[in-house]
Structures are given as C-alpha cells and as structure tokens.
Chains A and B, each alone.
Chain A
C-alpha cells in the first residue's frame, strides 16, 4: 500500500500543491501580490518532475501496480512517466510566465495556480489511466480547470467569450466521449481497457457496437487535441485566453490527449480488424484526420496576423503531424530498430512541441502587456532591437516548430517521419510527402514572425509594451536553450523516448500485460530488460 503511494508520488505532490495554493488564496489579503505562489507551484512541479525521474529509473519497462489499491485503474509505465515529465515541464515553465503577467492583466488571483496544478493533475492521470472511467474523470478534471483558466480575465469580454465557447463545445465533446464509453461498455461488458482489448481481440465483443464506440471516442479526442474538422474552437480560445494560459493548454492538453488516445487505441482496439481491417478502421480515420488537420491548419495559418491566432492554427497543423505517429506499427520488442518503436517519435515530438510553444507564448505574454489580448504584428515588430534575447528565443521557437535543424523540432520530425517510413514497408511514404509539403507551406508564416521581429521597425505610434519579468525571461530562455540542446545533442532524449515507446508496446498488449497478478508478487514486475533499449 505504501509502495503504491510512492508510485503515484508525482500525482500526490501536484495535488498537495494545488490544495495549498487554494488555501493560501483564502487567507491572503485581497489585492496582494500572488506571484510568490507561482514559485511555490513551480517548486511543486519541479519536485513532481524529480519524482518522475526517480520512478523512471526504479521502474523497469513493464512496471505495474501490484495490489488492488487503485483497482487497476492506473498503468505505470515509461510511456506515462515520459509524458508526465513533458506535461510537468510545460506546466512549470508556463507557470513562471504568469508571475508578472497576471498582475499586468489585473487578474492576479491565487486560484490561478491551484487551477494550473489541478489541470496538470488531470493530464497526468489521463496518460496513466487504465480504465475508461478513470480516463473520463481525469479528462474532466483537466478540462473544467482549463475552462475556468481560459476565462480568467473576468473583466475582459474577449476572455470570457473564449471560455464560454470552449466550455460549450468541450461539454459537447465530453458527452460524445461518454457515449463512446457507454457503447464500448455495452459491446464488451467492461470498462477496463485491458479487458476491452481482450474481448475485442477474442471476438467476444459485439463488433458493430464496439466500432461505433471507437469512432465516438476518436471524435471526442479529436476535439481535445484540436484535430480538424473538430478544431473550430481552437483559434478563438487560443486568442481569447490569457497568453500564459494558452501556452499551458496548448502543450498540456495536447500531450495528455495524445498519450491517452495512443494508449486507448492500442490497448482496446489493437486487434487487426479494428486497426486496419474493417471499413471504418481507426488507421483510416487517423489518416483522414491527419491529412485534414495538416492542410487546414497550415493553410489557415498563412493568413493570420495575430501571433496567438497563428499559433492556434499551427497547433492544428502539428496535431496532424502527431497523428501520423499513431500509424506506426509497434515493433517487436526486441529493440532492433531504434526508430521503429511506436510512441518514441510521439514522445520526442511532444517534448519539442512543448518547449517551442512555451517559448512562443511566453514571448506573446511579454509583448501583450497592453491590457488587451494584443499579439498582432505591431505588438512585436522590431522586437530584436528592443530585446534581443526574447527575439532570439522567439526565433528558436519558430524554427523548431518549422523543423529546421539544430532545433528539437527537427529531430522530432526526423524521428517521426523515420518511424513511419520504416514501419509497414513504406506504405505511408505518401503521407510523409504530404507532411513535408505542409512543412514547406508553414515556412511562410513561421518565418514571417522572425521577419516581423527582426526586419521591421518598431511602430512609432504604438511602441512595444514590454513586460519586465525575470521569471518569464528565465522560462522563455530555458525553453529556447533546451530546444537547442535537444536539437544538437538529442541522444539521451531519443533513447528515453524510444524506451517509452517500447514500454507502451508492452503495456498496451492486453494478452501479455496487466494480468491480475497475485498480491504475493513483488511490487514491480519486470518483463523487458531496460538495458536492451537503453544501449541500442
């Protein structure tokens, strides 16, 4: 029992931090500076990150909870831990950008930090969830916190509007998710992902009902990860929400959504007839979503003048690239090909995406201090002259999103495309070419940001209103430096994400993993030697 509490220590730390922030908010005098809470919360995130790191090394590839403490509702594997790490890193850096940004926006309330912690908690549980109800509850914890955060500038109609839009459409998506869960439950008689997988693979499930449930689940997740054509909310919410919130939701929700979706599809519907056999197999659906997302996101981003709105469409395009990672056929776990582990590319790409977006939204927060949600071209034109460091970080972020070498984004695209090409004998070569053509299109709008920051002069009537904030600069700087580090020396990160990928291959196989081991067994069961992977 105590062992199990240790295993979920990252979750516990984040929960405690959220509660502390909430309590402090009650007793702190109204109108006082709440920024110090950001440091407290960040410290919590850092501690949780440390706990993840510790668990990563203590847990072997196929770790599982031994007793029935959580009634098999959580899976602890390297895949989950890696994504928790990504989420925590994003949350940590995004929290730091808020310290002086919120007072500047006249919305300095303690609840902000509690909500960030709770939504991070929801995200972390999402990527670990092993049954559908846990998944749903986690998703709601995350979503409700984010709905509130999106409307955190209470006196701004813009912010409120975005929260309202997000809430209504999000509730709709939640309803569809529940519908999908009920259909799947109806078809298989269980909510445990593993047992659903066994039933589906064994032919015990009512296949039409299960297929319907699967499609509903994909649609609901499509909404959360902002895949076209379920993306309509994205630009308005990204633009309306405070920049520090957008930065957090852009990276956190995406990482959590993709983690949960990958686990769900592979565990429950990994059987060949659901994967690529039937007329509505999920591979077909994912391919369609990926192509539409890439093309729609990139084409619409071309016309955007507002940095935050452009990043919203770029988020849709990146959903398209990331969806491609789901198409990789899991490699046999003998670790032969480094680039052939499903999840490896996904994790690394999410890491690169997180860092780039945190930096970009951090800069958007720094220049958007005029009160209104202003991240138009005038807000940062000539930034290079005013603040070379922020301009440089913005450039690194844009180049990483574009996928130029020396940045993490390039290595992410490389691993992703490499994985997809090497699996399935080049079946998806055309999809990679579509993605590459899309990257070319995206060069136009990403480089325009660089152009505005470096090649335009500061507007005379509306000079840049730069937010003076040391924590923000640290967060943006760290994100930019890490982007370069993972772009130049990605060896460790690639090894780790490959290992995460192998653990997903292992834990998502219902036949070999998650059998209800007896309580007598040691706390952590190991089936795959981690060295196999680590020393590839």
Chain B
C-alpha cells in the first residue's frame, strides 16, 4: 500500500495550507508569504515521487497510486483519484509552477497578501484535483473550485477594467460548465440502467450510448472544454482576463488553467464519446487552425505586450487542439508535451512582462525601445523564452510543435490509398487534414514574425524614453524565480524523449481504444481499407511502419 494515498496528500496539502493561513493574523504578511511558499514547495516535493515511481509500461491509471475511498455513498460518488501518462506532466507542471508564482509575486502583490495566498493555494488544490479525479462528480467539484479563486485573483488584484474582465470570465466558464453538469447527470442516470448508479469514470466508460446521445453529450462536454482552451471563436474572454489579471493570475491562467480544457477533451470527451468526436473532428480541426492563424495575426497587431502574449496563447493552444484531433500517438504525445511547453514558456513570458511592468508601469510596446542596453540580463532571458515560444530547435517549443505537425501530416497520409482491386480511394478527411496541416505550419512562421518584431521594438533600437535609460536589471530573486523555467526550456528541448516515454503506454491505449470509432465517423473511406492504414501504426505514431506497409 506504499504511496497509495500520496495523491490525496498532494491534492489536499495546498488546501490545508490555505486553512492554516486563515488563522494567521492579517498584518503578518511575511508569515503569509512564508507559509504559502512552504506549502507550495512541499506539494511540489511530494509530487516528485509520482514521477520517480511512475511505471512507464502501464497503460492507463497507475495501480500504485490509485485512491478509492467512500464519499457520498447515497449518490454513488466516491473519492477516486488516479494518475496516468496523460495527466502526469500536467500535474507536475502545476506543482512546479505554483511555488514559482507565489515567490515571483513577492513584489507585485502588496495588498491583502493573505487572501492572495489563500486564493492561490485553493486554486492549486482545484487544479490538481481536476487532473487526478476519476469520478465525474469529484472532477466537476474541482473544476468549479478553480473558478472562484481565479475570479478573486483577477477581481481584487487586477488592472483598471478588472470588473468587466471577471464578469466575462465567469459567465463564459459557467455557461460551459453547467451544461457539462447536465451531461454528467445524464451519464449518471444512464449507469443506473444496468446497476447501481455511479459517477465513477470506469462505470461511465462501460455504458453504451446511441450516436445521437453521444453527439449531444459531446457538445455539452466539449463546449465547456473548448471555452476553457479557448478554441476560436470562444476565445474572447481570454485577452481581457489576461490583460486585467495580475502577473500571478496570468501565469496560472496560461500555465495550467487553459490546459484543463485540452486535458478534459483527452480524458473525458474523447474516450466517452468517440463517435461524436469523429463527427465533430472536421469542425474542431478547422476552428483550431483558424485559431492558430487568427491568434498569430491578431497578436502581431497588438500594441500591448501582455495582450500580444495572450493572443499568442490562442495560437499555441490551436496547435495542441490540432494534435488532439489528429489522434495518433505522435500527435497526441506532441499535444501533451506542447501543453507543458506552453505552460513553461508562456508562464515565463508573463513573469518577464510582469517584471518590466513593475519598473515602468506600462506594457505598451511604444513606451519601450532599446532597453536591451539598460537591462542586459533581462533581455537575454526574454530572448531565450521568445525562442522557445517560436519553437527554435533546441528549445522545448520545437519538440512539441514538430511532433504535432508531423503527427498531423502523418494522419493525412496516404492521401488516396489503394483498394484491393487496385483503384485509388480518395478520402476527404485526408485532404482536409493535409490542407489544414500546411496552413498550421505557416502559423509557426507567423509566430516568429510577431514575437521577433515585438522583441526588436522593445529591446533594440535607440532609447527614446528617458525613463528607460535607468531601468534596474533583474534582482537575484527574480533571476532565481525564472532560472528553473529557463532550465526546463532547454532540458525538454534537448531531451524530449525523456518526457514522451512515460506518456507512450497511456497515449497508445487511448488511441487504440478510440481511434477506430473516430475514424469510422470522420473518415469512412480509409477506415474501410483497414489493413493498409493499420490502426496500430497510428497508435504508436511510427512513420517507419507505415512506409513498410506501403
């Protein structure tokens, strides 16, 4: 039973810290910061055994870390937690980012420190809980638990127009999540038809749904997740929320909260409703590619650095969605890796923007120019993170984007496979995927354009504003906060295999389980020629195998 309640501990520890903080007097701000950081670091340390004890050969939830305890027996809901290759890295990203955020907001959050720390810790519990819950009611509970702290983070410590931003954020999120709740209740009642009704993920996977039911339920779930991602055209809350949020809010929003949407799709929407996923695939595919290009173009037009980074998130998350839709081993692994990459590089970008904002109290690109001369260390770090965001080889961004794009091209091939009688069968899905992959690739170029032009205008050229001449470079604390993020940019970039290996078994299982139904719904032409486009090759994502088959 070693480590069996480790997940429970990891999930609840931040909440314990938050409760403890409620009893510390309001004035002792140093104590608040210290307790908050301690609990966040402790949670991170506790989550490390999850990685070291992770058995990469197990497909599905790790048996060693399974937690199952009674909760609401009357309703068939229980405290069920689990971790697998899909959630592992996002969980670690969450526990890794939270202490960085807490320590990093030392100088930016100076009022109501206690409330801030409590909100961050409760938020961490919500995020971790949503990532490990394998009971749908429990998942929903944690899912909504993230809402209120985020609402307070933007609303109390946010910018001038924070009120409008919070309302927009909350209404968008609640519309999605309440419809998802109706879907969850529907599934719960369905499980009651064959036995005791239950919210358990395993029990819900067992039920058979008609195609119509799948489509409606998928719509309810996917709406909640796509708003969170955010998929174009549900993204309009994001730039507002990001610009108004304090640095800490932006980092946690970009770093983890957005991943909840893509994670939810992978964990719930896809395995539960594969047929509907197939039916909706063309729509999601087109919308995510629109998101990639549109996000990049709008980012290019921004005069506010933070807004630019916010729109770049829309573009980057479009890549993640593309990987999920392509649904082969390589693309899905790339999508998960890219979720982590985006959390690290965009988190770092927001931290850097926050650092310069604290000095100049402006984020307008036109207010800067030439600060490379006055802040050399800052400039170096910023450019490294920029390179990671663009996806320069050697940085983490390259590994993720390359896997996603090669996976999506792989999904498009063979364009017109040969049938048994020698005729060529044309597949509309393959054509669409090919065109969309090509357009998505241009998004990488666009990413370089908007990021580099911003870097040029902010850091190089002559200093036009007097205030920029005497900017202080990064302090030791700020450098230390950023150092781990920079380190991971290179570690993931240089050794991506170390990060994809633990995912492989779980991702392969997911693809093997769901791909046939998805493919039948979206790509019947190729599906009917089964042996040629073998399912297993997609699952493992090995292009070599496909070549051999041809």
Interface positions, chain B 136-154, Cβ under 8 Å from A, are 137, 140-145, 147-148, 151-152
How far apart are the CA atoms of A388 and B22 in the complex, in Å? Answer: 10
Interface positions, chain B 56-78, Cβ under 8 Å from A, are 71-76
A439 part of interface (Cβ distance < 8 Å): yes
Contact of B162 among A410, A455, A494 (CB under 8 A): A455
Chain A, 423-444, contact with B by CB distance < 8 Å: what is the 0/1 string? 0001001001100100110011
Known contacts A405-B144, A417-B185; A339 and B174 CB within 8 A of each other: no
Known contacts A405-B145, A422-B189, A536-B74; A338 and B167 CB within 8 A of each other: no
- B74 — which chain A residues lie within 8 A by C-beta? 338, 490-491, 494-495, 498, 536
Give B80 Cβ to nearest chain A Cβ, in Å: 15
Known contacts A440-B174, A451-B163, A451-B166; A491 and B155 CB within 8 A of each other: no
Chain A, 395-427, contact with B by CB distance < 8 Å: what is the 0/1 string? 000010000111000100011011001100010
When C-beta atoms are compared, the residue in chain A nearest to B188 turns out to be A418
- A447 — which chain B residues lie within 8 A by C-beta? 151, 166-167, 170
User: Quick one: which of B143, B174, B179, B182 has the most chain A CB within 10 A?
Assistant: B174
Chain A, 12-38, contact with B by CB distance < 8 Å: what is the 0/1 string? 000000000000000000000000000
State whether A443 touches B171 (Cβ < 8 A). yes
Give B539 Cβ to nearest chain A Cβ, in Å: 36
User: Quick one: which of B72, B74, B142, B162 has the most chain A CB within 10 A?
Assistant: B74
State whether B141 touches A417 (Cβ < 8 A). no
Give B463 Cβ to nearest chain A Cβ, in Å: 38
- A339 — which chain B residues lie within 8 A by C-beta? 75, 189, 197
- B163 — which chain A residues lie within 8 A by C-beta? 451, 455
B175 part of interface (Cβ distance < 8 Å): yes
When C-beta atoms are compared, the residue in chain A nearest to B216 turns out to be A429
Known contacts A447-B151, A454-B156; A405 and B185 CB within 8 A of each other: no
Known contacts A399-B148, A405-B141, A405-B145; A338 and B197 CB within 8 A of each other: yes
How far apart are the CA atoms of A418 and B188 in the complex, in Å? Answer: 8
How far apart are the CA atoms of A127 and B75 in the complex, in Å? Answer: 27
Known contacts A399-B148, A447-B167, A455-B163; A338 and B178 CB within 8 A of each other: no
- A207 — which chain B residues lie within 8 A by C-beta? none
Known contacts A399-B148, A422-B189, A455-B155; A494 and B179 CB within 8 A of each other: no
B181 part of interface (Cβ distance < 8 Å): yes
Give B441 Cβ to nearest chain A Cβ, in Å: 39
How far apart are the CA atoms of A432 and B72 in the complex, in Å? Answer: 23
Contact of A494 among B72, B115, B189 (CB under 8 A): B72
- A433 — which chain B residues lie within 8 A by C-beta? 179, 182
Give A21 Cβ to nearest chain B Cβ, in Å: 38
Chain A, 155-198, contact with B by CB distance < 8 Å: what is the 0/1 string? 00000000000000000000000000000000000000000000
- B156 — which chain A residues lie within 8 A by C-beta? 454-455
State whether A443 touches B174 (Cβ < 8 A). yes
When C-beta atoms are compared, the residue in chain B nearest to A422 turns out to be B189
Chain B, 173-187, contact with A by CB distance < 8 Å: what is the 0/1 string? 011001101100110
How far apart are the CA atoms of A89 and B141 in the complex, in Å? Answer: 27
A337 part of interface (Cβ distance < 8 Å): yes
State whether A414 touches B166 (Cβ < 8 A). no
A contact residues, range: 35 or more
- B140 — which chain A residues lie within 8 A by C-beta? 405
- B76 — which chain A residues lie within 8 A by C-beta? 338
When C-beta atoms are compared, the residue in chain B nearest to A533 turns out to be B74
When C-beta atoms are compared, the residue in chain B nearest to A456 turns out to be B163
Known contacts A440-B171, A455-B163; A421 and B185 CB within 8 A of each other: yes
Q: Mostly helix, strand, loop or mixed at chain B's interface?
A: helix
State whether B192 touches A422 (Cβ < 8 A). yes
Contact of A337 among B175, B181, B197 (CB under 8 A): B197
How far apart are the CA atoms of A443 and B172 in the complex, in Å? Answer: 11
How far apart are the CA atoms of A338 and B188 in the complex, in Å? Answer: 12
State whether A443 touches B170 (Cβ < 8 A). yes
When C-beta atoms are compared, the residue in chain A nearest to B189 turns out to be A422
User: Quick one: which of B75, B156, B171, B175 has the most chain A CB within 10 A?
Assistant: B75
State whether A494 touches B148 (Cβ < 8 A). no
Give B166 Cβ to nearest chain A Cβ, in Å: 7
State whether B75 touches A494 (Cβ < 8 A). yes
- A337 — which chain B residues lie within 8 A by C-beta? 192, 197
Give B442 Cβ to nearest chain A Cβ, in Å: 38
How far apart are the CA atoms of A4 and B88 in the complex, in Å? Answer: 63
State whether A491 touches B71 (Cβ < 8 A). yes
- B142 — which chain A residues lie within 8 A by C-beta? 405
How far apart are the CA atoms of A287 and B199 in the complex, in Å? Answer: 29
State whether A404 touches B189 (Cβ < 8 A). no
When C-beta atoms are compared, the residue in chain A nearest to B178 turns out to be A436
- A422 — which chain B residues lie within 8 A by C-beta? 189, 192, 197
Known contacts A417-B182, A436-B179, A536-B74; A451 and B155 CB within 8 A of each other: yes
- B151 — which chain A residues lie within 8 A by C-beta? 447, 450
Interface positions, chain A 332-385, Cβ under 8 Å from B, are 337-339, 384
- A421 — which chain B residues lie within 8 A by C-beta? 182, 185-186, 189
How far apart are the CA atoms of A455 and B189 in the complex, in Å? Answer: 40
Known contacts A422-B189, A455-B163, A536-B74; A436 and B147 CB within 8 A of each other: no
- B178 — which chain A residues lie within 8 A by C-beta? 436, 439-440
- A436 — which chain B residues lie within 8 A by C-beta? 178-179, 181-182
State whether B188 touches A454 (Cβ < 8 A). no
- B75 — which chain A residues lie within 8 A by C-beta? 338-339, 414-415, 418, 491, 494
User: Quick one: which of B170, B185, B192 has the most chain A CB within 10 A?
Assistant: B185
How far apart are the CA atoms of A63 and B198 in the complex, in Å? Answer: 32
- B181 — which chain A residues lie within 8 A by C-beta? 414, 417, 436
When C-beta atoms are compared, the residue in chain A nearest to B76 turns out to be A338
State whether A444 touches B141 (Cβ < 8 A). no
Give B73 Cβ to nearest chain A Cβ, in Å: 6
Give A173 Cβ to nearest chain B Cβ, in Å: 34
Interface positions, chain A 315-339, Cβ under 8 Å from B, are 337-339
Give B152 Cβ to nearest chain A Cβ, in Å: 6
How far apart are the CA atoms of A455 and B157 in the complex, in Å? Answer: 9
- A429 — which chain B residues lie within 8 A by C-beta? 182, 186
When C-beta atoms are compared, the residue in chain A nearest to B143 turns out to be A405
- A490 — which chain B residues lie within 8 A by C-beta? 72, 74
- B71 — which chain A residues lie within 8 A by C-beta? 491
How far apart are the CA atoms of A444 and B162 in the complex, in Å? Answer: 15
- A443 — which chain B residues lie within 8 A by C-beta? 170-171, 174
When C-beta atoms are compared, the residue in chain A nearest to B156 turns out to be A455
A and B contact pairs by CB, cutoff 8 A, 14 listed:
A337-B192, A404-B144, A410-B141, A415-B75, A418-B188, A421-B189, A426-B186, A429-B182, A432-B185, A444-B171, A447-B170, A490-B74, A491-B71, A491-B73
List 10 extra interface pairs beyond A338-B197, A414-B181, A444-B167, CB under 8 A: A338-B76, A405-B140, A405-B143, A405-B144, A414-B75, A418-B185, A422-B189, A447-B167, A494-B74, A495-B74
A residues apposed to B, CB below 8 Å: 337-339, 384, 388, 399, 404-406, 410, 414-415, 417-418, 421-422, 426, 429, 432-433, 436, 439-440, 443-444, 447, 450-451, 454-455, 489-491, 494-495, 498, 536
- Give me the 7 closest cross-chain CB pairs, A-B, nearest first: A405-B141, A494-B74, A405-B144, A422-B189, A436-B178, A455-B155, A491-B72
